[in-house]
Chains A and B, each alone.
Chain A
Amino acid sequence: MNRPTRRQLIKTLGGVAAALPFLLDPRRARAFDGRARRAIFFYFPDGIPGTSADGDPSEWHCTGNENDFQLGPVLSPLRALKDEVLFFNGLSMGGTDSGSHPGGAVKLLTAADHGNGESIDQYLARTVGGAAPFRHVYLGAMANVNNASGDKHISYPGPGQSISPEDDPVRAFERLFGAGVVVPPAPGSMPAPGSDAPSRPDRRKSVLDVALADLNDLRGKVGPAERARLDIHAESIRELERRIDALAPEREPGGGGGGAGGAGGEPAPTCDAPQLAAGDLNQGLLYAPDRFPQILQLQMDVLVQAMACGLTQVGVIQCSIHTSELIMSRFPGTEMFDAGYDMRSHQASHYGPRHDRGRREYRDYVLQRTWFVSQYAALLDALRRRPEGDGTMLDYSLVFCGSEVSDGNTHLHDDMPFLLAGRGGGRVNPGRLLQYGYERHSNLFIAMARAMGDGLGAFGDNSSGPLAGVLA
């Protein structure tokens, strides 16, 4: 692409967040203020080795008490991050569609029986995350394979309405950091001060204003279902207008303009020269199983950088899709690797009635799930390596991890494999094991929303309030 990019702009401006006040929300320029600044939802398919049909104990869930507990074997990659994570036993998604992958996938983030509602990531994007240039960032690794239908995806802007993730990290990066439609002219080609040359962003705004006016007219003619849909559309237009505003070339580089986020060494995550080392990855390789680890790593990299630069506060990372055909035995350099045998995610999840490590399905299943946990750990680590305020990005984040079923073989929706990492700006005190008896996971989402400063009272079906023990 020839157009100047946000990335180039960032480089030109000196490569530090201090030079990008307009990208940063000034409200965040305070120390550990008891408010989570961002939420990430990390999804992997096909469950975990939970309690087996024959009663073997879960290899995921922790044992012990709140402050003195042992990680399940599958969680071993989190050993070094144990103090950063809240572990849960006994959270349930309810009985609806229990025993089913698709049923679990639609309930996972909606917490609505039959999945017929807005998902929590979309709710947060619309509320506390609504001022960011990108309200919501949904990235996938091989998550659109086979033209997956709606029930394969986990993010629902409205009842029965799903969206599809971006599976290409290079395009995701370009969309967030440059080459997008709202990119201003490169600083060198900006109109000279005082020039009357019409600026492209202005025309875009007037074009979008007309679209909004048409939308408003149309809104008056439709019923409630379509009205809700048009409202999402209208908010999407306003979000794009905010991006245009945020990047309007109206100020001297590094100068006054909008917020004061970077001034005076105020705390903010560093946002230096975002880049993506995609190597030889190209579109023809986006569904090659041996590329999955690379693609996932890149997507996490994109999301962390976007958040560091204040481009978004809500992100979803989706690894493949439920009942996944992903051939994990092709992941190079892993213990799962076997050039002579194709072991798929969903295939391994049906390991049989017992935890029999002598059986190939089970052995691989444990390795696969441990690998997904290691990727979640890498995401946490990336957040922890970036300073923010008086701590790290992880300190100001909430990072959920989950799958659509508990044990992959019994497909139960009870005792779900959920984790929540980060301190949420001091609102959450991790490093503990919390135990419940069939408590609905919707309450965990309410707690997350509260930690982000939203007053959410009820979510999905059968919620009762913020999950006890989560909020400090």
Chain B
Amino acid sequence: MKTTLRRTLLPVLLSLATACTDAGGDASPGSADARTGSGGAGGATADAGTGGRAVDPDDGVPALDPDDGVPAPPPGTVDGRSLYENLCANCHGLHGEGAAGPPLTRSYQRDYLAEYIDARMPLGNPDSCDARCAAALADYILGDLLAAPPPDCAAPQPGPRALRLLTRREYRNTVRDLLGLGAAEAVPGGDACAALADCDVQRESCVDSACVADPCETHTFLFDAGGRALNTVHVAGSFNGWPGTVAAGGWPLSFDAALNRWVLKHAIPEGDHSYKLVLDERDWIADPGNPDTAPDGFGGQNSVLRQHCAAAPGGGDAPAGGEALELTALTRDVPPETRPRGFGFETHAGAGVATSIHVEAWLAAAQSVSARVSAQPARFAACLGQPDCPTVFIGDFGRRAFRRALTAAEIERYTALWRGQADDTEGLAATVEALLSSPNFLYRSELGEPQSDGTWRLTADEVGSALSYGFWATSPDAELLNAAADGSLLTPEVLEREARRLLGDPRAREQIGTFALQWLGVDGLETKTKRADMYPAWDPALAAAMLEESRRFVTAAVFDEGGRFDTLLRGDFSFVNDRLAALYGIPGDFGPEFIRAPLTGIANGARAGVLGHASVLTTSAHSDQTSPIRRGLFVRERLLCTIFGTPPADAGGVPDVDPSATTRERFRQHTAEDRCAACHRYIDDLGFGFEQFDAIGAFRDTEAGQPIDHTGNMNDVEGLGTGTDARFQTLPELAAVLGESQRVQDCFATQVWRFERGRLETAQDTCDLGTVQARFREAGGDIRELLVGVLLTPAFTWRREGEP
């Protein structure tokens, strides 16, 4: 009967619907699109918050201001249950378990829920349920319907047994460490340095007294003038329009006395380019340091630069230079990681599958590795020539590749493969290829071993891998392997000691940089399009600089600036190069290198922490205008872990760019209508506070000839429906509100938990997540303690059989 009803009613109901919003996923920043609409048509705004709070019995209804609250119905006048069964059950399930609509949870604030139902439910026909009906429903839903005992946190709440396919990044790092390639130069925060000359100049910069690997996009131009006195050396090429002078846009090299070379580091756009060096703005020469040349059409030679960082969007993250570049190529043909709806990171354990495209790409990569091994067989297999070399090599290399000791059967299998080849070199190559093609290499195991109580527990080897991939995105080092092999890693003391050791290693910095871009949802920035006539500064180099700023800032906040979460929001410094300094209006002399700069010197448009990062402001904007909605959603979804439902069917679009109106005026309609305001009062009012910053994050004080009103309201920061206001004029003021919010801090812990565990939290994880959040709180918001804590909770090592 219900099905028939739906068929006849649904089109009618939906055709009644009329308009709101920057609609659908469009309203979300970046890949966060995915998060909207998990509820689909039911569209309930689930202020899911953090798992730990979701079923906290104390997290109940706040004291009501009689003027604010929706009045409770007089007892006995309305039957919440029959209302629910008539109006809601068809979509949300008879027990609130969800059907066509999303499941209902006790995380809703009672007043907020009542208001929401009043304004929007039933979908498409909210008039059929008035305030009284809505209040009765809210009471019924939060009362009888969802009455469930709180979970017993004393009982184990295991996660699913899982295999986790290596991400492209993890694959590259693992190969790098397996072969001992470029480890020192490939990670940021490496050797101490006083100047560039102390580092590997081709692929590193000296930042904060440490040699830091340049991003892949950065190319280093080095020119040895051979003692010749020159006033200027600049680069002119297809990437910058072949300018004859520095004033016309040539990229100047500067003379580094310690190196006795002219040097420039500059981001190069993806693709093949030709260029020349221009000496004293007069002599055009091919770059003598670059053997790759092509005829210039005038009888001379151009130097050729082939830039291939972006194996795919988000793929341009590998360290640059020499062997590292070769590593980037290893995963060029591996398809990008996929993520399910609502998951912001590339580390999801269950989403990816190995297609034949993957298998072929991995085999090709394994062949590249084996070719390298074959070129210097003695370096990788010192035993070569000895009769027991196959078993020796397989035992050692295999243990590092599989992150556990091989079984006797496995050793036999690989030995047979080796011996089946023409000679030892071939055998070695085939063995390396096979080990790198094995699922034991390609997946890291979190399967565990069966326990007497019917649960499963991770082995010491698995815990070791979880630590090394969690902190380093690569395989365990010798010390960790040994701690796993002797079982000591399963003792809490050794586990914590190892976790802290790993966190102190430079490789952890790189991992935090990776986390940062995905947490902020800016990792697709390079695919953004902006109107060239409105934002002439926008180019690949600027995009790369924006990403680098976020990567460096978060990394520094965690490791160098005290490690407090508060710094991420309120830090009054950042890392900028000349492009960003110009964009932000930071006074001073800047070059292509990133340096730590105080933000306090900015005259207009004060910034603080990640909120002011151009990467965030650019991602959450359109090609031709800002988007208060996306910026508001950035804060709500990324920083507060609030999930909004899909906008109503027939929501309106983005208002036209009207030269006579400000963005605020054009978007104001969203909060005008009640049924839109149910959500948009939590989004737009907040987003308007970012209006001082244009679609690439530059300061502006007027729009459409009018002064900008950049008043924002960070309302209900501790939960939708809590009825608080927090007006702000500047980003530092917004940051102060967020920095004091427990909810924001808990949400950050949730995000770290998701990144490390490789899945979204479920009701099963309530206690575990609560433990992680509590520890983070107790540590005063120290992110390093959070990172250690998330892999140390008892629940992490307990597993259960997952659902098919």
A residues sitting closer than 8 Å to B (CB atoms) are 51, 53, 55, 95-103, 106, 113, 134-136, 142, 144-153, 157-164, 166-167, 171, 175, 180-182, 198, 203-204, 206-208, 210-211, 213-215, 217-218, 221-226, 228-230, 232-233, 236-237, 239-240, 243, 282-285, 287-289, 322-323, 325, 327, 340-342, 344, 346-353, 360-361, 409-412, 414, 437-438
Contact = CB atoms under 8 A, between A and B. Distances in A.
Contact of A96 (B40, B414, B648): B40
Contacts of A144: 312-313, 336, 527
A115 B366 CA distance: 35
A236 B338 contact: no
A164 B312 CA distance: 11
B527 A146 contact: yes
Contact of B43 (A99, A284, A353): A99
B804 A228 contact: yes
B14 interface: yes
Nearest to A135: B356
A198 B31 contact: no
Interface stretch (B185-193, B267-275, B675-683): B267-275
Contacts of B802: 223-226
Nearest to A227: B804
Contacts of A215: 438-439
Contacts, number: 326
B310 interface: yes
Contact of A101 (B25, B361, B426): B25
Contacts of A146: 30-31, 33, 313, 524, 527-528
Interface in B1-56: 6-7, 10-11, 14-15, 17-19, 23-26, 30-31, 33-34, 36-38, 40-41, 43
Given A95-B41, A287-B313, A287-B529, A210 B437 contact: yes
Nearest to A161: B353
B351 interface: yes
Interface stretch (B247-255, B379-387, B415-423, B583-591): B415-423
Interface in B242-271: 269-271
A229 B353 contact: yes
Scoring B25, B100, B312, B801 by chain A CB atoms within 10 A of each residue's CB, the highest score goes to B25
Contacts of A322: 24-25
Contact of B438 (A51, A135, A211, A410): A211
Scoring B37, B338, B360 by chain A CB atoms within 10 A of each residue's CB, the highest score goes to B338
Scoring A164, A221, A351 by chain B CB atoms within 10 A of each residue's CB, the highest score goes to A164
Contacts of A136: 355-356
A164 B336 contact: yes
B40 A145 contact: no
Given A53-B650, A163-B355, A347-B26, A414 B350 contact: no
Interface in B305-362: 308, 310, 312-314, 333, 335-341, 343, 346, 350-361
Interface string B412-454: 0110010011100010011001100111100100010000000
B contact patch SS? loop
Contacts of B421: 198, 203
Scoring A144, A208, A224, A414 by chain B CB atoms within 10 A of each residue's CB, the highest score goes to A144
B215 to A, nearest CB: 16
Scoring A228, A282, A341, A346 by chain B CB atoms within 10 A of each residue's CB, the highest score goes to A346
Interface residues on B, range: 35 or more
A81 to B, nearest CB: 30
Nearest to B365: A181
B732 to A, nearest CB: 29
B531 A353 contact: no
Contact of B271 (A175, A243, A282, A411): A282
B342 to A, nearest CB: 8
Scoring A167, A325, A350, A361 by chain B CB atoms within 10 A of each residue's CB, the highest score goes to A350
A85 to B, nearest CB: 26
A211 B439 contact: yes
B623 interface: yes
Contacts of A198: 421-422, 426
B524 A145 contact: yes
Interface string B628-666: 000000000000000000101111111011000000000
Contacts of B41: 95-100, 103
A323 B7 CA distance: 26
A229 B437 contact: no
A102 B650 contact: no
Given A163-B335, A237-B359, 5 more contacts: A53-B15, A99-B646, A162-B340, A208-B437, A222-B163
B624 interface: yes
B100 A148 contact: no
Contact of B34 (A145, A150, A163): A150
A24 to B, nearest CB: 19
A207 B430 contact: yes
B270 A97 contact: no
Nearest to B619: A146
Contacts of B422: 198
B493 interface: no
B410 interface: yes
A284 B271 contact: yes
A207 B529 contact: no
Given A206-B420, A225-B803, A236 B356 contact: yes
A361 B19 CA distance: 15
28 contacts: A100-B41, A102-B646, A136-B355, A146-B527, A147-B314, A149-B31, A149-B343, A150-B338, A160-B350, A161-B352, A164-B312, A175-B333, A204-B363, A206-B430, A214-B410, A214-B413, A215-B439, A225-B160, A228-B804, A284-B269, A287-B313, A289-B529, A325-B26, A341-B657, A344-B622, A352-B653, A353-B19, A412-B14
B25 A150 contact: no
A149 B163 CA distance: 20
Contacts of A153: 338
Contacts of A158: 353
A97 B624 contact: no
